[in-house]
Structure 1
Amino acid sequence: MSIETEKQFEGMKAIGQIVANCLELMKSSAQPGMRTEELDLVGAKFLEEYGANSAPIKMYNFPGSTCISVEHEGVHGVPGPQVLKEGDLINIDVSAELNGFFADTGGSFVLGQGCSEKQNLCLATRRALKLALKYVSHGKPINLMGKEIEKFAHKQGLSVIENLGGHGVGNSLHEEPEFIANFFVKKDNRIFKENSVVAIEPIISTGARILVDKGDGWTLHHPHFFTAQFEHTVMVTKGRPFIFTKPTIKAS
């Protein structure tokens, strides 16, 4: 999507704030003993309250309003009877549509007290997103951002997931530019373009490079390594990108 009108800009701001606040509410609502389907219901009710539609359901008939991935699950986890435990690594991805505008956000955290490996992974991935956004501006090569994310991850002793990446968003959940890699792709000669809307989402692991189907047709995981993700929907400018998915509430 390329934003050309004030109506488009305000539409993206509205849905961006909704998904961002939904994510924060879900993070603060997560408790040991809660089933992931119960946590998903928190998100579903919030989206409904603001008139937004779950993008995974709307676009892909996903069996949940949000994606909730736990422990060795990396992304696209299906909410269900799984019970959350103290110390679990949880990744929540919230995407939704309002009045024809789509926004996408996500974040990972450790529930309560967890091991330093998981905590450090979450911290590093959050920092990777902050770093990535410095390279999202008009005219900059898309693969430069990927190069810097990959370099940062390796310095932390971590790896980048190579079969997942960012994407264009706005008029639909996934659109051009497709697959914005979080690693250096030499042959990718695309550049970020002013006013375009993109989802930037570093996905970093304690050792995995590829996530595979867990067996349900949706959830991607690695049986031996942990994975974290942080994501913002932004508009490209000539300077710092405008972040649509900044929450106005904070997880407690």
Structure 2
Amino acid sequence: MIVKTQAERDALECIGRIVSKTRDAMVSSVRVGMTTRELDEIGGRILEKYGAKSAPMIDYHFPGYTCISVNQTVAHGIPDDYKIKSGDLINVDVSAVLDGFYADTGKSIVVGDPIASHTVKQNLCRVAYEAMIAGISAAKLGNQINDIGISIFETAKKNGYTVIMNLTGHGIGRALHETPQAISNYYCRSENDKIELGQVLAIETFISNGSNMVRDSSNGWALKTIDGGFVAQFEHTIIVQEDGPAIITL
């Protein structure tokens, strides 16, 4: 989507605030022993409070208000009766729609107090966040879409990590997934479209301490690492401005 009016921008900023509030409330509610379904229900109640609808539920009939992915599950994790444990790597991904406008955001955390055994996962989360910020910084006029991927990949590489190559960010706005259909976490030659003024993008990082690919799981939704490694994911929705990207999901 290309934002052309103040009314469109206002609507996007509104749904951006809603998904960010939902994300932050869910993350702050994580407790050892609660189920991921209980965590998802918190998100559902917040979306309902603001009149928003879960985008994956409405658009794709996903069996949850949000995607909650644990440990070797990288994305599209279905909320269920799994009881959260200390040391779990959890990603909360919230996308929603209000009045025909969409926003998407995600955050990964390690459950429990920081201890030595959690260091690998905590470092992975740190780098995934830094890679997202680098990617967002590259989303500026004069650059191409694949400049975002270069920045993400270089951040991962200098920290000793790799990126997942078959998961990407995407355009967003009037639909959950719009042009560009893919914003890779690495340099992809074909993603050479110029970044446009007013363009709405979901910048999404998938940083791995192992394999660079994920595979489908038996439930038809969840995507898992192929080698048992871990992946941290962060995501913000942005609007490209003359003076740089504006994050609407802070």
TM-score above 0.5: yes
After superposing the two structures, state which structure 1 stretch, 149-158 or 97-106, moved more. 149-158
CA distance in 2: counterparts of 1:26 and 1:233, whole angstroms: 18
Shift of 1:139: 2.5
User: Which residue is 2:7 aligned to?
Assistant: 7
1:242 matches 2:240: no
Shift of 1:238: 2.2
How far does the alpha carbon of each residue in 1:183-223 deviate from its partner, in whole angstroms, 9 at most, with x for none?
01123321211101010011111112111112110000115
Aligned counterpart, 2:188:
185
- Point out the more displaced range, 237-246 or 28-37: 237-246
Give the secondary structure class of the aligned counterpart of 1:138. coil
- When the two structures are superposed, what TM-score results if normalisation uses the length of structure 2? 0.96
1:232 equivalenced with 2:229 (yes/no): no
| SS of aligned partner of 1:233 | strand
Task: State the match for 1:78 in structure 2.
Answer: 78
Q: How does 1:31-110 map to 2 (within 5 A)?
A: 31-110=31-110
Is residue 124 from structure 1 mapped to residue 114 from structure 2 by the alignment?
A: no
Unaligned runs of 5+ in 2: none
In the other structure, the counterpart of 1:163 is 166
What corresponds to 1:212 in structure 2?
215
Q: Deviations over 1:68-127 (max 9, x none)?
A: 000111011000011100110000100000011000000100011351000000000011
Q: Does 1:194 align with 2:197?
A: yes
SS at match of 1:225: coil
Distance in 1, matches of 2:199 and 2:237, equals 11
Corresponding residue SS for 1:170: coil
Tell me the alpha carbon deviations over residues 40-84 of structure 1, each in whole angstroms, 9 at most, x when there is no partner: 000000000000000000100000000000011101100001110
- Please give the alpha-carbon distance, in whole angstroms, between the structure 1 residues aligned to 2:103 and 2:191: 25
Q: Deviations over 1:220-245 (max 9, x none)?
A: 01151000111000001122201110
CA contact (8 A) 2:183 2:191 kept: no
Letter paired with 1:12: L
SS for the counterpart of 1:107 is: strand
Contact 2:141 2:244 in 1 (8 A): no
Q: What is the aligned length?
A: 246
User: RMSD between aligned alpha carbons?
Assistant: 0.9
State the alpha-carbon separation in 2 of the partners of residues 214 and 126 from structure 1.
26
SS of 2:123's equivalent in the other structure is: helix
Please report the TM-score for the alignment, with normalisation by the length of structure 1: 0.96
User: Structure 1 runs of 4+ off > 2 angstroms?
Assistant: none
Q: Report the Cα distance in structure 1 between the residues aligned to 2:233 and 2:138, rounded to whole angstroms.
A: 18
